[in-house]
Amino acid sequence: MDRKYIKSKYYIAVFESRNHAIQIYQYLNRKKYNQYELVSTPCKIKAGCSYSIKFMDLKYYDFLKELTDKSNRNILDVYEVTRKNGKRVLIKLDL
């Protein structure tokens, strides 16, 4: 893969459970909200086979938060993910 297409910064929303992340993502996918992606939660954040929802711009967080509040699915944390010297750096955001 050509490295110029790899985004150097994105965000992930971590959920209480794997099922919550899948349910929210399925809703987003059905409604054609293509700015969200279902990804494995990095092991540094949460051990096990958990999923998170990835989005490229922080402006998409407000809609995601509103949706999860309405459906009683809690976002535990949101992280900014960047690459520095080829390594992934995770920064927990206080939103």
- Give residue-wise pLDDT tens across range 67-76: 999 999 999 9
29: how many CB neighbours lie within 10 A of its CB? 13
Residue 2: pLDDT over 50: no
**DSSP assignments along 52-82, one per residue:** EEEESSGGGHHHHHHHHHHTT--EEEEEEEE
Q: How confident is the model at residue 23 (pLDDT cuts 50, 70, 90)?
A: very high
Share the mean pLDDT of the chain.
90
Residue 61: pLDDT over 90: yes
| pTM beyond 0.75 | yes
Q: Is 92 helix (H, G, I), strand (E, B) or coil?
A: strand
Residue 7: pLDDT over 70: no
- 41-46: average pLDDT: 88
Q: Which CATH class is domain 3-93?
A: alpha beta
Q: What ranges do the domains of the chain cover?
A: 3-93
